[in-house]
Amino acid sequence: MSEKQFKHKLYVKKNIEVSFTASTLEKIKTIISHYPEGQQKSALIPVLHIAQEELGGSLNVDIMDYVAGLLNITPIEVYEVATFYTQFYIDPVGKYVIEVCHTGPCALCGGEDILSYLEEKLNIKVGETTEDHLFSLKAVECLGACGSAPVMQVNTEYHEFLDIEKIDEIIAKLRSERELKKPEELTWKERLS
Amino acid sequence: MERKIILENIEVKGIRSLEVYRQNGGYQSIEKALKTMTPDEVVAEVKTSGLRGRGGAGFPTGMKWSFIDKKSGNPRYLICNADESEPGTFKDRYLLEHIPHRLIEGMICAAYALGANKAYIYVRGEFKYIIGILNEALKETYKAGLLGKDILGSGYDLDIHVHSGAGAYICGEETALLESLEGKRGNPRLKPPFPAIKGLYGCPTVVNNVETLSNIGWIVNNGGETYSKIGIGRSTGTKLISACGNINNPGVYEIELGLPVEEFIYSDKYCGGVKGGKELKAVIPGGSSVPILPKNLILKTIEGQPRLMSYESLSEGGFVSGSMLGSGGFIVFDEDACIVRNTYNFSRFYHHESCGQCSPCREGTSWMESVLHRIENGEGKMKDIDLLVSIASKIEGNTICPLGDAAAWPVSAAIRHFRSEFEFHVEHPDVVKNIKHGKLPIEAPQI
């Protein structure tokens, strides 16, 4: 194997202790019980969602290995799923992931302008994260809300019928919330970086 | 005539809750089906109704159900496909958000008909808040004894669970959805065996769209015969159309199949005409995968008959002069929209969403994207246009799942109907470099 392959981010294990809280483990147990006996692998996508949400906003090898152990499957089975689905982030992301739809109907209604406005406003390019780890900007394909285009999603919340004023308002709101409470997620990310 | 089946009572305040839904006649079909009908009778009613799959393919639902393998002795599964991600389509989101019990009611009837004791609702990962709404609705339903063990004392057991995807268009394809539900990458499976024989965990499975299942309650209540009288010809019943793009009233509309397209676009009851009083240029009538049609061909067929919103009328003329009803994602383009730009946009979408399993799709979609990108940016050559047609024809029909076709059709249709616009891009690189979605100084082609 070439050296390059070993440097792939999926091979970088930092050996950080990863664990869910007891209540999360209970939640995962319920999810596994939704599937027939021996089919606990079905719970993989829901569990990865929980892992990403509770363990700092993105996945890494340590988290994925931990999930593999929980579901009693091999780590590679987790990696291949985590890299296939666009909602799982392998690279660290900011506290707020802004995903702007730029597919057909949204593009017709100005989705691409929204994207370039956000690039300018946050002073980052698509795919990057602001220096304060607050915002990540992503261009995504259809969010299934074409009737209220242009649309973007901030973490799990939809924002529709966007225009410049609305975006200013949303960004200001998100910024001020940070000043109110210090996110615990940031400390986790600091440990990783 | 206006007729509401799926969207009936959707305006009623609090209809999202079980209590209000039941006050408005909800869940009557469960009593009727479970207490007075055999599973085969329910299947027969749905067959009589002529209901066709509302996810895009339009396959008769009753027929799909009758294929399920009841002899194998393996458990059977019913899956609701709520992985709505076709650009232009947002009808299922509207249903799930406002009237989730209509789906659950339909699912109980359907699962009973199929003899399934477990059902899943596969919701796309982005619809996180909808997962919350569904879980809340399911909790109420369990509490009321409409789900779980021995439903309404009939001896029939059913569990419904919500499963979340994680952002992959391909998981809307039924076998990719099954793979995803098993916790794997969404790579579609080779058919046959069809899911009705070997589906989820290798067991007989039926996968139906949200809108399809939402019809079942009404059909059980009122009979398949009554349903089959609504609509036109083999396009029975009503259809949700999600209208978007450059129109005055984007939104979800329930129409009786057979409504003239012209009325749908210009009536204030529906789209309300093109935004800003502009001219209509083109329409994609069934979600991004189906061929685009220029104004003259969407309003009238090649024979001069008015085009109707039905499976048959929209596909009249084949792909030469017709399109498809698809999933009902109705995308309207005004005179200023750039078809090349839009075709590039959709190609990028399909490149992004190709699972990478079949070479023609994996390589072809990225090739088409890069060729369209250079034409769009004024760097294309005349032979690139024929190259695109050639790539598209080599993807079509050569892949395991229909995503390959879905990627090829929009490109070949755009070139078929708007070739002059592509040529204009090649001939006037300086002009097109400065236009985003602007109007091009050429006329729409006349046929």
Q: Taking Cα atoms as reference points, which of A144, A100, A86 lies closest to residue B92?
A: A144
Nearest residue of chain A to residue B410 (CA atoms):
A104
Q: How confident is the model at residue A187 (pLDDT cuts 50, 70, 90)?
A: very low
Q: Is there a contact between A85 and B125 if contact means CB atoms under 8 Å apart? A: yes
Is B441 inside any structural domain?
no
The minimal CB distance from A144 to the residues B84, B128, B184 is found for B84
Does the beta-carbon distance from A103 to B349 stay under 8 Å?
A: yes
Above 90 in pLDDT, residue A192?
A: no
Tell me the pLDDT tens digit for each residue of B130-152: 998 999 999 999 999 999 999 99
d(CA B291, CA A37): 44
Instruction: Report CB contact under 8 Å: B183, A36.
Output: no
| Mean of pLDDT over chain B | 91
ipTM value, please give it: 0.89
What pTM, to 2 d.p., does this model score? 0.92
pLDDT per residue as tens digits for the range B393-445: 999 999 999 999 999 999 999 999 999 999 999 998 888 877 665 555 555 44
Q: Is A17 exposed, middle or buried (0-12, 13-18, 19+ CB in 10 A)?
A: exposed
Partner residues linked to B5 by β-bridges: none
Local confidence band at A180 (pLDDT 50, 70, 90 cut-offs) = very low
What's the CATH number where B416 sits?
1.20.1440.230
Same-domain status, B194 and B210: yes
Q: Using the predicted structure, report yes or no on whether residue A24 has a pLDDT greater than 80.
A: yes
pLDDT score recorded for residue A7: 55
Instruction: Show the tokens assigned to B418.
Output: 């708007």
Instruction: Compute the distance between CA of residue B219 and CA of residue B197 in angstroms, rounded to an integer.
Output: 26
Interchain CB contact of A42 with B (< 8 Å): yes
pLDDT at residue B49 above 70?
Answer: yes
Distance (Å) of CA B284 to CA A7, A95, B290, B373, B377: 45, 38, 7, 21, 23
* Contact assessment for residue B220 and residue B106, using Cβ atoms and an 8 Å cutoff: no
Average pLDDT value for residue range B218-234: 93
Measured in degrees and rounded to the nearest 5, phi and psi for residue B147 equal -135, 160
Domain count, chain B: 3
Mutate which: A70, A78, A89, A146, vs B, most B CBs within 10 A: A146
Rounded-to-integer distance, Cα B330 and Cα B261, Å: 10
Residues B47 and B186 in one domain: yes
Q: Which of these three, B164, B197, B229, is where a domain ends?
A: B229
Q: Residue A182 has what pLDDT?
A: 41
Q: Is residue B447 part of a domain?
A: no
B172, B199, B229 - which closes a domain: B229
Neighbours of B375 (CB within 10 A): 26
pLDDT-derived band at A6 (thresholds 50, 70, 90) equals low
Please write the tens of the pLDDT for every residue from B251-297.
999 999 999 999 999 999 999 999 999 999 999 999 999 999 999 99
**What is the set of domains in chain A, with CATH numbers?**
3-84 (1.10.10), 96-192 (3.40.30.10)
Identity of the amino acid at B308: L
Q: Which domain holds residue B38?
A: 18-229
Quick check: bond before B192 cis, omega within 30?
yes
